[in-house]
Structures are given as C-alpha cells and as structure tokens.
A and B are shown apart, each in its own frame.
Chain A
Amino acid sequence: MARMATTRRVAVSTIAAWLCGFLIFFPILWMMLASFKTELEAFAIPPSFLFFHWTLENYATVQARSDYLHHALNSIIIAGGSTLIALLIAIPAAWSMAFSPTKRTKDVLLWMLSTKMMPPVGVLVPIYLIYKTVGLLDSRIGLVFILCLGNLPIVIWMLFTYFKEIPRDILEAARMDGATIGRELVYVLTPMAIPGLASTLLLNLILAWNEAFWTLNLSTSQAAPLTVFIASYSSPEGLFWAKLSAASTLAIAPILVLGWFSQKQLVRGLTFGAVK
C-alpha cells in the first residue's frame, strides 16, 4: 500500500516536472515553430500549432542577407574571451577572500556587487567617449573587456561561495605537505571546485552570449555579435516575425547545444555551495 502511494507520488511529481519544463521551454519552442512558418502564418490569429505549411524560406532569406558565421564567430570570441579572463581574475580573488578573509572582505564583496546595481545606460556616454578615444569602438577586444568587467562581480561572488564550502583542513593538509600557494590553487582547490567552476563558467558564458546592451551600442559591423544579427530582423513596417524567429533560432542554437551537453555539471554546480 505504501509502495503504491509512493509510486503515485513519483508519477505525479514526474508529470508536474515535465509540465513545468514544457512551460518554461514553450516560448523557445514557439519561436522555433514560427521560424518554419510563412510571415502570414506566423502572424495569423488564431495561430496554428503544428498544422501549417512548413518552409525553410526564412532560413534561406536570413542566410542570404546576413553573414551568420561572422556574427557567430564574434559571439564565440567575445563570450568565451570575456569568460576566460573573468575566471582568471576571479579565481585568485575569490580564493583570497574565502581563505584569508580580512576585516574588509565583506565590504569589498558588497562594493563589487554594488557596481551591478547601476543601470548600464547611465555610463554609456562616458564609456563610449573613452572607447572612441582609445580606438576600441567596434573591436572584439573592447567588447571582451566591457563584458568581462560587467560579469566579474557575479563570477567572484559565485566562486567565493563555492570556495567557502571547501573545508580549510584539506588546504592546511596540503600546506603541511609543503605545497606552495600556486600548487595549492592548481592541484588541490581547483579540482575540488570543478563543479562550481563549470557552472560559473557556463552561466557567465550564457550571460555574455545574451548581453545585448553593450554589444549593440559599442559594435558596428566588424565586431558585431549575434545580438546585432537578431536586432537587424525587426521591422517597423512589414511582417517580420518568421524571419526574426529564424534569426533567433540560429543565434541561440550554439549556446543551447552547449547547455544541453553540460547540464550535468550545471545542475551539480548549482546545487553545490551556497548558491542554491
């Protein structure tokens, strides 16, 4: 009897979980479906779910009009570059704050977080002027730098909370065996924090991939990533939903695939440490 109740509970919660998952995924599914419709069908009310004339016309148009690979490559370089640099800076910073805290560590952490509280548009003009003067407008380095700065507080915070979970005794044991700080970081701390590092890396990659304010404002054509590619398919006069959906599907495809393959690490990382 008890087993039956448990089975029923498992079944109910499985159905509920699938339903939630479907609800969350629905907008993306809808976008993907719209990308295979004609413009008229994409706009039709009531909309058709599966029974419409499937077409690849939108993908062909998008392919003919824009250089997808150029934009995708820029996105990979900008998101990947900014994430790697942010991790390189954040690992030692989070390590020192987690294992050698001082009186001011908490203030420093809060101060870092406070930089995220300002709306980016508030500093658009100063940043634009600086970038213009140093020649960083429409350059990948410029975008890597600004996205790295923007995401650094989150990366440090996440790593800090993961590192805090690691018992100090293990590090002390390593030190007793004569490990230097560098060795301690590379051979002891990093392997233990891999799930945390992986989820930080992936989250930061997604944030940088989707970042649309700075990438739209500081790039023109040379360094323009996929956000600019998507933005070029919205039109004030004329139907554009199907083409926009096709462009968006192409833009999210790489990150969706990456997320799919690394979901194990992501889930482990997110349930490990204090960020739950």
Chain B
Amino acid sequence: MKNVLGAICGASCLLLAVPAMAETTLTIATVNNGDMIRMQGLSSEFTAKNPDITVKWVTLEENVLRQRVTTDIATKGGQFDVLTIGTYEVPIWAKKGWLVPLANLGADYDVADLLPKIRDAVSVDGKLYAAPFYGESSMVMYRTDLFEKAGLKMPENPTWDFVIDAAKKLTDKSAGVYGICLRGKAGWGENMAFLSAMANSYGARWFDEKWEPQFNTPEWKKTLATYVDLMKQAGPPGASSNGFNENLALFNAGKCAMWIDATVAASFVTNPKDSRVADKVGFALAPNTGLGKNANWLWAWNLAIPAGSKKTEAAEKFIAWATSKDYTKLVASKEGWANVPPGTRTSLYQNPDYLKVAPFAKLTLASIDAADPNKPTVKPVPYVGVQYAAIPEFQGIGTQVGQQFSAALAGSTTVDAALSAAQSSTEREMKRAGYIK
C-alpha cells in the first residue's frame, strides 16, 4: 500500500514539475499598423533564437485596444505581457505604477542611440518605461509638379502665410484639385492632434500654468479662424469627416496640392504601388508664424510591460529584440530599407542605405527634432505633450473640443461659438477633476 501511495506521490510530483519546465508564452497586444504587422511576421526569428519563449498576438483597433488594455492594467488582470502604447499613455501610466521600468534591455541595446526627443517622451524621472518601436512627427507633403506649374517654390521651413497663400493659388475646384488637405474628423487623436500642433505655432496653449483652459484667448481664435477660413477656400468638400486615411486617399489620388500630416505618410505617398503621385512629392517642415514653434507633433508607438505581467524577464527580452538595431537590419534584409520602422534611432538617419531609399528621412528627423514634448508651446504650460496634454482627462476633453471644432469646419456653428463651447466644457471637466476651483 505504502509503495502504491509513494508511486502516486512520485507521479504527481513529476506531473507538477512539467509546467515549470514548459515554455514561457508571451501575450503581446498591438495595433494594426503596417510596422506592427511586419513585426508579427518576423517574430519567428525571435522565437527561433529563444526556443523557451512562444508569442501570442492580440491585434486590435486602436481605441478598442486602449479600452481593453486599460481595463486589464487597472484591474491588474495580467492578460498581457507586452503592450503597444502611445507616448500619451506612457507618462500617465508610469506615474500610476502600471508599467515596469525597462532596466535590463541588454548591454548592446544602446539606449543613447534613441532619438533624444522620443526618449524623453517615454521616460519619467530619467527612467525608461517603454521602448519606442516607431516614431513620427508631422510635416508638409506637397506636389512638386503643381508648385512648379504655379511658379511657387516651397521653402524648407515655410510660414503659415506662405502655405495659406499657396493653397489658395493652387486650388482648382473645377479640376478637382484642392490647395490643402487637413484633418477635420472629430477626435483627440484626429483633428485635435493637428489643431493643437497648429495652435502651438500660433502661440496658443491648452492650459496656462494654473491649468486654466485658454480657448478664450486671441491666439486660439486666430488659429481656428485661420483653419476654418483656409479649409473653406482651399480644402476639399466634406473635410469635417476627413481623418488620416481619407486625406491619404485624396492625396494619393492627386486631389491635394499640400497635406500636413504624420511623417509616416511619406512612405505611403511615395510608394508607386499605392500612389498616383509617387514621383511628384516634396517635403517641408510644418509651418510656423515666426514665434519659434512649428505646427508639428510628436508621437511614437512603444512597447511596454504592464505591472500585472508575471513574465517580465521574457517580455523585456522581446522588447529589446523588437526595438534593437539588429531588428532594423533584419527588416531591411527581408523587406528592404524602405520598410524599416522609422523615427526612433539616430543611427538609422546616418545609414546611407536608408537615406538612399527614403528621400523624406532628413525632413522626418528635422521634424522630430523640432517638436519638444517638455516645452511644446511659446508660453509656459504645466503639461507634457505637444498635441495633447498627458493627463488622464485629456482623451475626453480633447474629443469634446474636437467635436466643436469639427462642427465649426462643417459650418454648423461659428468659430466664436465653438471656442466658447470648448472653453466652458473644458472648464467644467477640469473643475470636476479638481485641477481648478
């Protein structure tokens, strides 16, 4: 009897020991962007090098992912081991203790090679809380052929006056060509990303040093009035429902003389497979008004480890692999230099192979350098972030304001009414959240 019991005990111990020897499975949550999908495809290279780790992917739409990941991280659900998050979330979540600081990325990771502005955006108190996977700013993309025909020459660092004047001159509504395409669809990451950056260049800011909303200032009025007037005269019809993808389609179809948007669009508009104007696109910095700030934003998609994960070691190994210089080389060897994730490492912008295939590289780097998340505006502000304020309430506030501004563009409200509604709704939310009394 004793022997039988002993045998059973022994067998169960063996069975229990099996999971300890089993592989670590990482669950990685990500958005559906070209670069992320490519990473998913190449992850077999990582698992081949690390046979004790397997990876599972959860790809979701940006807003669904944000909601899903926030629920999991706030309840310490531990469903994910690696998250794809934006520069907006990193400082907020790091301060709440939701992210694991990345201290063991390995000796050859070369943190110093990360672009300083991007590195700042994902660090809190000097500690790296996320590793940038790809970074972007915004810039002017314009049609060189149309500019030439009109006898105009785009400066590398244009002013708003020049851009507005050119947009009006280049508009030929009968031919279906519009001077400028800009975002109009409501949302904190849609029209407000563009308008906040534009407002920065006009000397406006979201909040003053005491967190008072600033929509009642002349700077905001100038920004919104200029934007609405410009779009009415030189923008495409129905612009209030255009976001990144709609404008991309318009530009690629040859309907926009200028488009100010994310630098990652540069590789789309110069790709002859998707774009009818691939060989006729020039690039310039986002416009300014001479106040020292250009109308460009700063954003990066980053990989981070949630505090609830029990597999931090393996997760950090994966992050180090996916954001390393070697990963860039791997993508280049498999899919060519034009497809490597841009905007995170200085070394990429010194690589002659990359510079050869990416005519927009110089301007992308200059745009990223021109945006400063710690000093985003002409006047001082209490928040971090160029096209957003990194506070948890911003998503809601930004979208409400975005709806007002989108309505002003659609003509269903006036510029003054939109600004005053934005001011009162922002004041209400900031009072509720306890920033102001």
**A→B interface (CB under 8 Å):** 39-40, 43-45, 65, 124-125, 128-129, 132, 137-138, 216-217, 220-221, 224, 228, 231-240
Which B residues are in CB contact (< 8 Å) with A240? Answer: 32, 245
Partner of A216, one of B57, B68, B79, B268: B68
Partner of A239, one of B62, B68, B248, B264: B248
Q: Min CB distance, A68 to chain B, in Å?
A: 14
Which A residues are in CB contact (< 8 Å) with B31? Answer: 235-236
| A44-B253, A137-B79, A236-B244 known; A217 vs B71 contact (CB < 8 Å) | yes
Q: List 28 A-B contacts (CB under 8 A).
A: A40-B249, A40-B252, A43-B246, A45-B250, A45-B253, A125-B75, A129-B75, A132-B77, A137-B77, A137-B79, A216-B64, A220-B56, A220-B79, A221-B27, A221-B56, A221-B57, A221-B58, A228-B58, A232-B59, A234-B32, A235-B61, A236-B33, A236-B244, A237-B244, A237-B265, A238-B33, A238-B34, A239-B248
Q: Min CB distance, A138 to chain B, in Å?
A: 6
Which A residues are in CB contact (< 8 Å) with B58? Answer: 220-221, 224, 228, 232
Residue of A at shortest CB range from B64? A231
A240 to B59, CA, bound (A): 14
A221 to B64, CA, bound (A): 15
User: Is B88 in contact with chain A by the CB < 8 A criterion?
Assistant: no
Contact B274 A39 (CB under 8 A): yes
Q: Min CB distance, A75 to chain B, in Å?
A: 16
Q: Min CB distance, B62 to chain A, in Å?
A: 4
A85 to B100, CA, bound (A): 42
Contact B262 A237 (CB under 8 A): yes
**B→A interface (CB under 8 Å):** 27, 29, 31-34, 37, 40, 56-62, 64, 67-68, 71-72, 74-80, 189, 244-246, 248-250, 252-253, 262, 264-265, 268, 274
Which A residues are in CB contact (< 8 Å) with B264? Answer: 237
Contact B61 A65 (CB under 8 A): no
Residue of A at shortest CB range from B250? A45
| A40-B249, A125-B75 known; A220 vs B27 contact (CB < 8 Å) | yes
Contact A138 B79 (CB under 8 A): yes
Which B residues are in CB contact (< 8 Å) with A238? Answer: 33-34, 245, 248, 268
Contact A128 B75 (CB under 8 A): yes
Q: Min CB distance, B259 to chain A, in Å?
A: 14
Contact B274 A233 (CB under 8 A): no
A125 to B58, CA, bound (A): 20
Q: Min CB distance, B243 to chain A, in Å?
A: 9
